[in-house]
Chain A
Amino acid sequence: MKAIETKDLVKRFEDVEAVKGINLEIEEGELFGLLGPNGAGKTTTISMLCTITKPTSGSATVFGHDVKKESSTVRGMIGIVFQEPSLDDNLTGKENLDFHGRLYKVPRNEIAERISDVLELVELADKANVIVKKYSGGMKRRLEIARGLLHHPRVLFLDEPTLGLDPQTRLHIWEYIEKLNREKKITMILTTHYMDEADKLCDRIAIIDHGKIVAMDTPENLKHDVGGDVVIMTVPNGSEQLKTKLEQLEFVKSTQLVDGTLRLSVDKGETAIPIFMDVAREEGIAVPSIALHEPTLEDIFIKYTGREIRAQEASGFAGFHGPGRR
Chain B
Amino acid sequence: MGDIYSIWLREMTRYVRARSRVVTSLITPLLWLIIFGTGFSSSLSIGGTSGTNYINFLAPGILGMTALFTSIFSGMSVMFDKEFGFLKEILVAPVSRTSIVIGKALGGTTQAAIQALLILALSTFIGVKISSTLGIAGAVVLILVTLFFLGMGFVGLGISIASRLENIEGFQVVANLLVLPIFFLSGAFFPVTSLPNWMKALVDINPLSYGVDAMRYAVTGLHSYALTTDLAVVVGFFVLMTVVGSILFRNVR
Nearest B residue (CB) for A74: B94
A89 at the interface (CB under 8 A from B): yes
Q: Of residues A95, A102, A105, which shows the largest number of chain B Cβ atoms within 10 Å of its Cβ?
A: A102
| Interface residues on chain A, size class | 20 to 34
A82 at the interface (CB under 8 A from B): yes
How many angstroms from the CA of A80 to the CA of B94 in the assembled complex?
A: 13
Nearest A residue (CB) for B89: A86
How many A-B residue pairs lie within 8 Å, measured between CB atoms?
Answer: 62
CB pair A103 B88 closer than 8 Å: no
- Contact partner of A88 (CB less than 8 A), chosen from B10, B18, B93, is B10
User: Which A residues are in CB contact (< 8 Å) with B92?
Assistant: 50-52, 75, 80
A272 at the interface (CB under 8 A from B): no
How many angstroms from the CA of A103 to the CA of B237 in the assembled complex?
A: 29
B6 at the interface (CB under 8 A from A): yes
Interface 1/0s, chain A 131-156, versus B by CB < 8 A? 00000000000000001000000000
How many angstroms from the CA of A52 to the CA of B88 in the assembled complex?
A: 9
Q: Is the interface of B mostly helix, strand, loop or mixed?
A: helix
- Contact partner of B93 (CB less than 8 A), chosen from A84, A91, A100, is A100
Known: A99-B6, A103-B6. A87 touches B93 (CB 8 A): no
A57 at the interface (CB under 8 A from B): no
CB pair B94 A105 closer than 8 Å: yes
Nearest B residue (CB) for A90: B14
Q: Which residues of B contact A (CB under 8 A)?
A: 2-3, 5-6, 9-10, 13-14, 17-18, 84-95, 253
Q: Which residues of A contact B (CB under 8 A)?
A: 50-52, 72-73, 75-76, 80, 82, 84-91, 95, 99-100, 102-105, 147
Having A51-B92, A76-B94, A86-B88, one finds 9 other A-B pairs with CB under 8 Å, namely A52-B91, A73-B94, A82-B85, A87-B86, A88-B10, A90-B17, A91-B13, A103-B90, A103-B93
Report 20 cross-chain contacts, Cβ distance below 8 Å, ordered by A residue. Answer: A52-B88, A52-B91, A52-B92, A75-B93, A80-B92, A85-B85, A86-B86, A86-B89, A87-B86, A90-B14, A90-B17, A99-B6, A99-B9, A99-B10, A100-B93, A102-B6, A103-B6, A103-B95, A104-B93, A105-B94
